[in-house]
Structure 1
Amino acid sequence: MFNDEDHRNELRKQLISIVGRRFVITEEKKMKPFTQGWRLGGGPAAAVVRPATLLEMWNVLKLCVEEDLAILVQATNTGLTGGSTPNGFDYDRPIVIINTLRLDNIQLIDDSKQFIAFAGATLFQLEDILYEEGREPHSVLGSSCIGASIVGGVCNNSGGALLQRGPAYTELALYAKINTEGILELVNELEVDLGDSPEEILQTLQNKRYTKQQVRATDKLASDRTYKKTVREVDAKTPSRFNHDPSRLYGASGCAGKIAVFAVRIDSYKRPENKRVFYVGVNDTQLLETMRREILGNFRQLPVSGEYVHRRVYDVTKKYGKDNFFIINTVGSKHIQKLFNLKTLLDRWAAKIDFLPTNFSDKLMQKISRLLPNQIPSSLEKYREEYEHHWILEMSDEGIDEARDYLISFFKNHDGGFIECSEKEGDRAMLLRFLAAGAISRYHICEEEKLGDMISIDVALRRNEWEWFKNSIDDDVSVVDKFCYGHFFCHVLHQNYILKKGVDARAVKKVILDELVARGAEYPAEHNVGHEYRARDALHQHYLDLDPTNTFNPGIGQTSKNKNWT
């Protein structure tokens, strides 16, 4: 155990011998970006290690197992429920964090119909690589995961906003696990012949020293091919997707870091020739639900996506997301990760200066944003004035005419309206939705002196739920503000409640979640349990099966943090 200075120094030397001095961090302040969660979570680590090759990662894992250390594998650390950092100080072993962002290779296979992504590769990279091939990724970047890694999405069953593709899922992965006897094993389920020994397998993959013939055709899934049918079943009494769904727990999929994933193999998709965004406005939630049911039940072609935004979310995103609107529209989304890193550095610097406030970067950027012009097109602003509920419906190819004809017909007989967006209007509308979570968080930060705690609910409602918008707590005097937005076709909604000062947020959240469960909902829907929620039985069993010694990411899902689950 590395419980004194000599042992810690020895650990550091051994790690440096594997990855080099520059890529081993042991100073507490410098480790903070890796040990502190984006929204919650945080705790100590013995070291942060940043391997550059798969073999380096394997050798770090071997050392940690030999020294009886807990292991936490992390990529971009963008999770909302604290699952990619330590949580608290009650672990029975020191933790080593392996950050995988230097392992960012993406290899196209099968004429670009599939790809193999290493542990640190991001969706930003994948979009650029596939674009040149006329293909698209399995997932899009959401409001909570700008810069997210591909493997992180699989490990957390994230996504599902894209109706034709479903949540991130694969049965094809390369990973390390520790067996019941405490021995580290490399498991190759990629269905690619890479060799026999761990060293040979990892180096062959690293250098892409395999041929087309070594990539085996397989019946194993590289995406969720049932989701298109599932989401159309609008009369079903269960949600369409949620994190602990047993049907989507397989190996790396849903593992939440209970194994060390080196790479995954996933399907890509042909890029549509045309896309179009329709911006829908209504004042009646039942009308929106009627449209959802008719589109899913009757359209020949499924929509690309359908994102819901309430007027209150619109207002806060317009004001508190203005700078991010401006940056993305000016320099593009691919630079957002670098800007997030700069933001972290600025906050670390500000924390050393007594007179500067907490969350300094958010408060500074909000002041600067006052100088920027409004980023939202006037056509959408007009709809904001007229309608409380906004639905951003994206269609492709033949579905464009189908949607246009339907909307024209529907609004002949119902109150409301729609805009067939120009490319600029459509891009701004989608950005409005995907900047919402960050904008709401900044609103809470900037108005912290006036406001109490904020509760975040990530819920999957029944597919046949009609009363999707309102919870009984909404009119309670303890609630100052409510925000609702999400992926409306699959009934996955994000609800943020801001409470009065002094109100017990945990008690209020329990009331909300208990009510939702009584109505047949499931939670969390897509942010995974992290350290915020208790893992349900099926998910807990998945963790036990993958990690019988409880070495990887101990404590996830409010489970035991101790070795062997004691």
Structure 2
Amino acid sequence: MPQKDSVIWASCCDFETAQALKREVCIASPDCMAKSCEYINREVHDAVDQAGRILIKMIEILGMTRLEPLWNLKLFIESVPLPFATIVCDKFLWWFNGILPKPLPAKLQALTQEFDHHMLMEFAEYTPGELEGLMSRLRKFQDSKPEGAVKFHVCADAHERSRATLFRFAVAPAFRTYCIGLGQQGLSIDYALPKNFTQYPELPAQYPVSRRLVYSHFGCNVYHEDYVFDNGIDAIEKVGGKLPAEHGHGTEYAAPADMQQRWRRSDPTNTMTSVIIKESWGAKLSCFRTVLPHASWTMRLVTRSEAHPTRRQGTMDAFVGYSRFAFAEARTSMRQSDVAKESQQPYSQLVAEDRMITIQESQIRYAGAAIIALVGVYKYVGMVAAGSFDYAAIAANAAVAWGVFESGRQSI
């Protein structure tokens, strides 16, 4: 552990000067090197300032450990198969970003307005005199450049250090919010460059980029670039390329319409490719044929519990238990044919049918969650009519619906 350390924000007039600062100060000697050295350009600062203030404040208040459940909730909401679910959280972060103050302290904010290139460095003293040696190099480097070409600020307290560090940390997650807020498309890449280069690569003019965000682990020349493109620009298609090249269509890339049509012809029941192309045209009817007969029993159960208040307490537990029974019964009935046909069918067909059962089971759970939600609405309307509210029952109903829906999502 270092005996002491300092966090320094340095701003430079151009990229070449920032590179020279890294070589002549941060990594000039293997016996006296910066602990860390990060780089961002003006576009990165603007993106975090316009889209990352809420994230920075939440990390500052909650810490990373307590933030994780909220981040998982955001990912869950984005996975819900509803219109706008994938962007609603980032739209919220974008719309309400301005209610919070600037994320950087005033002195650092002034540097970001004056310069386009910035470095966040941490100097540590592992051996006596190391920290002062690094600071001496930095002051000597500043004096060797034209006046105003390099300015730096040593973070004086824990608040400044924390804000500077969190600002750099928020770059990657803020980029998604930034693109969604602007209504434009984004692309993120990373690469490494040789240690003796002086300028990062220029982009071909035929592929216009609206904004180019460059940030780097400067000490090891690992670069991240986030590109913001106007909608309608497709540089890959323009040169006859196709995405993806290796992993197929699925999580990030939707299958083109012509490919989906070919798959429909070769796989009419969507047994083999439902997850790949994010559709399920073959399993929908069978799902509801299995679940809907249980819906009438569910409504009778709720109606009776409303008619007899003493039964209300056990209604939800009974329904959840019955739902589990219904799911198990449906899965068992769908698997019965496998046992009878296993000796006659080839392995590939058995795999296809098992995949179909998994899809159907997931959709059964989706339908079950919808039924539970409808039961909750029914109970709420009854409470409004009666003029009394049981908030615990409403919360329990919502929690059960969420749990059943989540189990269906994870079963595929």
Report the TM range for the smaller structure's normalisation. Answer: 0.5 to 0.7
Counterpart in 2 of 1:504? 234
Offset, 1:316 = 0.9
**Does 2:164 align with 1:429?**
yes
- Where has structure 1 moved over 6 Å in runs of 4 or more? 508-511
Greater radius of gyration (CA)? 2
Do the aligned partners of 1:323 and 1:372 also contact (CA within 8 Å) in 2? yes
Identify the structure with the greater strand proportion: 1
| Cα RMSD for the two superposed structures | 2.8
**C-alpha spacing 1:282/1:320, structure 2 compared with 1 (3 Å):** same
TM-score, normalisation: structure 2:
0.53
The aligned runs of 1:539-558 (5 Å cut-off) are: none
Which of 44, 54, 68 pairs up with 1:337?
A: 68
Counterpart in 2 of 1:126? none
Q: Which amino acid aligns with 1:438?
A: P
**Does 2:178 align with 1:443?**
yes
1:401 partner SS: helix
Q: Matches of 2:85 and 2:4 in 1, distance apart? A: 47
Do the aligned partners of 1:305 and 1:489 also contact (CA within 8 Å) in 2? yes
Do the aligned partners of 1:299 and 1:402 also contact (CA within 8 Å) in 2? no
Q: Matches of 1:385 and 1:344 in 2, distance apart? A: 34
Q: Matches of 1:464 and 1:379 in 2, distance apart? A: 32
**C-alpha spacing 1:304/1:508, structure 2 compared with 1 (3 Å):** farther
Offset, 1:348 = 4.3
**Does 2:154 align with 1:420?**
yes
Q: Which amino acid aligns with 2:61?
A: T
Q: Matches of 2:142 and 2:239 in 1, distance apart? A: 38
The aligned runs of 1:253-332 (5 Å cut-off) are: 271-295=1-25, 296-298=27-29, 300-332=31-63
1:495 partner SS: strand
Q: Which amino acid aligns with 2:43?
A: R
Q: Which amino acid aligns with 1:425?
A: E
Q: Matches of 1:510 and 1:486 in 2, distance apart? A: 31
**C-alpha spacing 1:438/1:385, structure 2 compared with 1 (3 Å):** same
Q: String of CA shifts for 1:23-76, please: whole Å, max 9, x gaps.
A: xxxxxxxxxxxxxxxxxxxxxxxxxxxxxxxxxxxxxxxxxxxxxxxxxxxxxx
Report the number of matched residues: 239
1:383 partner SS: helix
Counterpart in 1 of 2:195? 463
**C-alpha spacing 1:530/1:290, structure 2 compared with 1 (3 Å):** farther
Structure 2 gaps of 5+ residues are 249-347, 349-412
2:100 partner SS: coil
Q: Which amino acid aligns with 2:98?
A: R
Counterpart in 2 of 1:48? none
Which of 365, 369, 376 pairs up with 2:104?
A: 376
Structure 1 gaps of 5+ residues are 1-270, 512-528, 533-561
Offset, 1:530 = 8.7
Do the aligned partners of 1:455 and 1:509 also contact (CA within 8 Å) in 2? no
Q: Matches of 1:277 and 1:477 in 2, distance apart? A: 38
Do the aligned partners of 1:461 and 1:491 also contact (CA within 8 Å) in 2? yes
How many percent of aligned residue pairs carry the same amino acid?
A: 26
Q: Matches of 1:328 and 1:509 in 2, distance apart? A: 42
TM-score, normalisation: structure 1:
0.39
Offset, 1:301 = 2.2
2:219 partner SS: coil
Counterpart in 1 of 2:141? 410
Q: Matches of 1:507 and 1:341 in 2, distance apart? A: 34
Do the aligned partners of 1:455 and 1:505 also contact (CA within 8 Å) in 2? no
Q: Which amino acid aligns with 1:489?
A: G
Q: Matches of 2:237 and 2:13 in 1, distance apart? A: 31
Offset, 1:358 = 3.5
1:306 partner SS: strand
Q: Matches of 1:530 and 1:294 in 2, distance apart? A: 41
Do the aligned partners of 2:93 and 2:177 also contact (CA within 8 Å) in 1? no
Q: Which amino acid aligns with 2:216?
A: G
**C-alpha spacing 1:480/1:412, structure 2 compared with 1 (3 Å):** same
Do the aligned partners of 2:192 and 2:223 also contact (CA within 8 Å) in 1? yes
Counterpart in 2 of 1:217? none
**Does 2:119 align with 1:391?**
yes
Offset, 1:509 = 10
Do the aligned partners of 2:79 and 2:86 also contact (CA within 8 Å) in 1? no
